[in-house]
């Protein structure tokens, strides 16, 4: 291919999997086995106690809790810190631990881990969310308190060899948890009622300023830093999957507090980015996903561009940064090897799609006049006109030569592309797409590809009716022509409205076929075009019905194809569509997706997790969660939640939450089944006893009847 217009995917290369084969160990005696088992239990117990010590240290380091529930957070933290001496002594305790103590310490570890997350929420969570979701927060306090009390009650001080002094301290903590379990500290009802009052007011003007002042003080939302931080937390909640209505409610409350604070101190400027859906004051704004915001301005991006480090910024913001003399990436602080800016067409399309779905006007890009190519010279224009005359002739040789020359000219410079387009070459080239001459057809479709890189030519190609002709070449042309047809469709689909036109043209089945049996370059061109087309919701079903899912799954499993990155990226898009989810489910893809999360690149793990999030939701949620759990996904998700990409972490956390709910439901169902089985067995036993008693009664009645004199016996006696 001569030249293509492709965005920089910035995808991580899939790492080569290197596995060492372990030799079989020699046989060991039963005594050696027992000794090894004891040693293993001792090491596990040591690791467990060490983990408990680390958890308490992490909890001790958490401070500066929000005013809402500050007393509850401080009490929980203080009581947990008092357990540190016991755990330090337990580190030196006897090994192996008895099963009862080991089980108690495991329960304590789980309760402490959840305590740590709750306390972190008290430091870095949304201040507004903490108040509005008070029932959920108080339930978490009660649940964790009960679990800590239960775990401490099961610990044997003698088995852990705990000193009397430390024992007394832990017994005091245990008693405090027990009292706290039986009674709950009251939440700040006034603060909650103030927030509800503000939310229920029809306009900001109707809100009592005294209430807003109290909220600003109590919630510590009085400075630009406070307000920005709260706004960012709400954005993260929205992108992390929190219910949209809840987050919108919080966003509206934050906006009213912000307006109040700003009215008292106009010099603060506009501290929070909260663009509303409409001019109505009582309508909450949709929360803009973080990925759609410029890291510099935090505003929704209009013209996203990629810098050399792979980060995306709003063009105007990064240009001002570079013009100020900086040579580093603002987000990563890495030195930029060059200052080139590549348009992020895919992200721009996603932003436009999101705006449309939320009833917002898509952001308009500032005109880039300084990037427009200069007009061609008279000599260049004359040369192009001469080539067009040859292209329009009936002589096959002239057509082939002129198409080849235009292909080369369009490859060389933006000025040439503009000149050829202005000269009216595009309609003539389009008319030759159906030619039977293979070379001419290759030249024509590649010339259109090169011309389409210039934005104004995209519209000219579409209005000239080129799409059916390009699809014709995609279906029946040579392999080179098919490759460049796919690339042309991708280039044209960068304009959002063209996605609809191309999707309706029958291009998608032809692209799926090229992805399945094309050359390596053809497969990549097809994958890039399909990815961009499937961003539009209306094309997803067409792609699934064209058989795209099995092809993508095959590319993921065939590592030698080198197409795993592209395939998983498209699967992540299609899994959000009902037909796509059904097709992936029918293909039994769970083991493959778990395998990617286990061994794939960071970007591939992220996309595999995104697919699983969609699969593990809906009618087959229980089935898919059970299958993923059998594949050992829990540990993999915990690792991804710690060290994955930002999006990968969010997806991993979502899956872990669903998995935890599923496992809890499974445990409850199992316990209920066991209770029912025991009740059934008891009922059967009672029935058997009753049946035996009835049988015994019948036997006794029969014996009594045999012993009674009969009527004939009485008659004999009268006759005698």
Interatomic CA distance for residues 583 and 575, integer angstroms? 9
Check residues 667 and 541 and name the one with the higher pLDDT: 541
The token duo for 100 is: 């009862």
Are the CB atoms for 541 and 505 separated by under 8 Å? Answer: no
Interatomic CA distance for residues 143 and 158, integer angstroms? 28
329-337 — which CB contacts under 8 Å span 24+ positions?
330/295, 330/296, 331/295, 334/309, 336/307, 336/308, 336/309, 337/308
Q: What is the pLDDT of residue 406?
A: 94
Question: How confident is the model over 416-434, as pLDDT tens digits?
Answer: 898 898 888 999 999 999 9
Work out the burial of residue 167: count CB atoms within 10 Å of its CB; fewer than 13 is exposed, 13-18 middle, 19 or more buried: middle
Q: Which of 363, 368, 351 is nearest to 456 (CA)?
A: 368
**Of 169-183, 378-392, 450-464, which has the strongest mean pLDDT?**
450-464
Same domain, 120 and 95: yes
Look at residue 267 and tell me if it is in a domain. Answer: no
Secondary structure class of 173 (helix, strand, coil)? helix
Same domain, 60 and 114: yes
Q: How many helices (H) and strands (E) does the chain have?
A: 35, 3
Q: What is the pLDDT of residue 277?
A: 32
User: Among 138-147, 255-264, 315-324, 454-463, which stretch is predicted with the lowest mean pLDDT?
Assistant: 255-264
Flag whether pLDDT at 349 surpasses 80: no
109: domain range?
40-180
- Tell me which of 341, 356, 371 is where a domain ends: 356
The token duo for 53 is: 């010590």
How many C-beta atoms lie closer than 10 Å to residue 453's C-beta? 18
User: The pTM is what?
Assistant: 0.49
Look at residue 134 and tell me if it is in a domain. Answer: yes
- Tell me which of 151, 180, 209 is where a domain ends: 180
Flag whether pLDDT at 252 surpasses 60: yes
Same domain, 172 and 194: no
* CATH number, position 298: 3.30.40.10
Main-chain phi, psi angles of 630, to 5 degrees: -65, -30
Same domain, 107 and 238: no
Same domain, 67 and 120: yes
Look at residue 505 and tell me if it is in a domain. Answer: no
Same domain, 257 and 306: no
Please work out, in degrees rounded to the nearest 5, the angle formed at the alpha carbon of residue 404 by the alpha carbons of 401 and 405: 85
Look at residue 310 and tell me if it is in a domain. Answer: yes
Secondary structure class of 64 (helix, strand, coil)? coil
User: Among 170-184, 445-459, 569-583, 606-620, which stretch is predicted with the lowest mean pLDDT?
Assistant: 170-184
> H-type helices in 164-314, by residue range?
164-182, 189-200, 209-218, 224-239, 244-264
Flag whether pLDDT at 30 surpasses 50: no
Same domain, 254 and 162: no
Question: How confident is the model over 543-562, as pLDDT tens digits?
Answer: 999 999 999 999 998 877 78
**Which residue spans within 424-467 are E strands per DSSP?**
none
Q: Which of 82, 83, 65 is nearest to 74 (CA)?
A: 65
Give the number of domains in the chain.
3
Look at residue 66 and tell me if it is in a domain. Answer: yes
Same domain, 150 and 65: yes
Same domain, 141 and 48: yes
**Reading across the β-sheet that carries 304-306, which strands appear in turn?**
312-314, 304-306, 342-343
Flag whether pLDDT at 509 surpasses 90: yes
How many C-beta atoms lie closer than 10 Å to residue 283's C-beta? 11
Structure letter (DSSP) for residue 67? S
Look at residue 343 and tell me if it is in a domain. Answer: yes
Same domain, 211 and 109: no
Look at residue 510 and tell me if it is in a domain. Answer: no
Same domain, 323 and 238: no
Look at residue 96 and tell me if it is in a domain. Answer: yes
Same domain, 143 and 50: yes
Are the CB atoms for 68 and 191 separated by under 8 Å? Answer: yes
- Tell me which of 309, 325, 356 is where a domain ends: 356
Q: What is the pLDDT of residue 366?
A: 56
């Amino acid at each position: 291919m001569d030249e293509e217009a492709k965005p920089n995917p910035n995808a991580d290369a899939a790492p080569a999997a290197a596995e060492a084969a372990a030799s079989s160990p020699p046989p060991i005696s039963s005594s050696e086995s027992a000794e090894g088992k004891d040693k293993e239990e001792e090491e596990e117990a040591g690791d467990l106690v060490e983990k408990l010590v680390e958890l308490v240290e992490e909890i001790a380091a958490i401070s500066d809790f929000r005013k809402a529930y500050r007393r509850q957070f401080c009490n929980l933290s203080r009581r947990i810190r008092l357990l540190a001496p016991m755990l330090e002594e337990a580190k030196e305790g006897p090994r192996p631990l008895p099963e009862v103590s080991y089980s108690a310490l495991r329960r304590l570890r789980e309760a402490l881990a959840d305590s740590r997350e709750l306390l972190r929420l008290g430091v870095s969570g949304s201040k507004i969310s903490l108040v509005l979701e008070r029932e959920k927060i108080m339930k978490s306090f009660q649940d964790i308190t009960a679990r800590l009390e239960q775990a401490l009650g099961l610990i044997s001080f003698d088995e852990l060899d705990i000193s009397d002094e430390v024992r007394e301290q832990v017994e005091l903590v245990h008693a405090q948890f027990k009292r706290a379990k039986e009674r709950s500290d009251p939440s700040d009802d006034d603060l909650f009622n103030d927030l509800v009052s503000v939310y229920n007011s029809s306009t900001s003007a109707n809100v009592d300023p005294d209430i807003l002042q109290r909220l600003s003080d109590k919630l510590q939302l009085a400075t630009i830093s406070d307000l920005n931080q709260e706004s960012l937390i709400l954005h993260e909640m929205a992108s992390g999957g929190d219910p949209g209505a809840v987050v919108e409610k919080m966003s509206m409350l934050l906006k009213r507090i912000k307006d109040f604070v700003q009215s008292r101190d106009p010099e603060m400027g506009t501290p929070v980015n909260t663009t509303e859906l409409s001019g109505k004051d009582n309508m909450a704004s949709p929360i803009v996903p973080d990925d759609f915001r410029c890291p510099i301005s935090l505003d929704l991006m209009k013209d996203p561009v990629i810098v050399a480090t792979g980060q995306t910024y709003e063009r105007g913001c990064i240009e001002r940064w570079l013009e100020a003399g900086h040579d580093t990436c603002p987000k990563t602080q890495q030195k930029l090897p060059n200052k080139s800016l590549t348009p992020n067409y895919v992200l721009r399309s996603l932003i436009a799609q999101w705006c449309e779905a939320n009833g917002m006007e898509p952001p308009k890009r500032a005109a880039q006049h300084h990037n427009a190519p200069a007009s061609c010279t008279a000599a260049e224009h004359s040369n192009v006109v001469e080539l067009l005359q040859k292209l329009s002739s009936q002589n096959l040789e002239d057509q082939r030569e002129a198409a080849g020359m235009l292909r080369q000219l369009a490859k060389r410079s933006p000025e040439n592309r503009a000149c050829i387009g202005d000269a009216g070459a595009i309609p003539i080239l389009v008319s030759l797409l159906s030619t039977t001459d293979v070379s001419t057809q290759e030249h024509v479709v590649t010339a259109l590809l090169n011309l389409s890189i210039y934005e104004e030519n995209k519209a000219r190609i579409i209005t000239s009716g080129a799409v059916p002709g390009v699809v014709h070449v995609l279906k029946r042309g040579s392999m080179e022509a098919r490759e460049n047809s796919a690339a042309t469709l991708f280039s044209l689909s960068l304009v959002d409205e063209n996605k609809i036109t191309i999707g309706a043209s029958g291009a998608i089945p032809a692209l799926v076929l090229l992805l399945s049996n094309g050359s390596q370059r053809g497969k990549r061109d097809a994958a890039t075009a399909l990815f961009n087309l499937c961003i539009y919701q209306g094309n997803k079903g067409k792609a699934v019905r064209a058989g795209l899912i099995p092809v993508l799954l095959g590319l993921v499993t065939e590592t030698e194809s080198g197409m795993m990155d592209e395939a998983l990226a498209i699967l992540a898009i299609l899994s959000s569509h009902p037909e796509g989810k059904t097709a992936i489910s029918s293909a039994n893809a769970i083991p493959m997706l778990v395998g990617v999360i286990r061994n794939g690149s960071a970007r591939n793990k992220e996309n595999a997790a995104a697919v699983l999030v969609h699969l593990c939701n809906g009618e087959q949620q229980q089935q898919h969660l059970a299958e993923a759990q059998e594949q050992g996904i829990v540990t993999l998700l915990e690792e991804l939640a710690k060290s994955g990409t930002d999006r990968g972490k969010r997806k991993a956390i979502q899956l872990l939450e669903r998995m935890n709910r599923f496992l809890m439901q499974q445990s409850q169902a199992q316990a209920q089944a066991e209770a029912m089985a025991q009740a059934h067995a008891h009922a059967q036993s009672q029935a058997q006893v009753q049946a035996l008693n009835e049988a015994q009664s019948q036997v006794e009645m029969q014996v009594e009847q045999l012993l009674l004199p009969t009527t004939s016996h009485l008659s004999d006696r009268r006759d005698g």
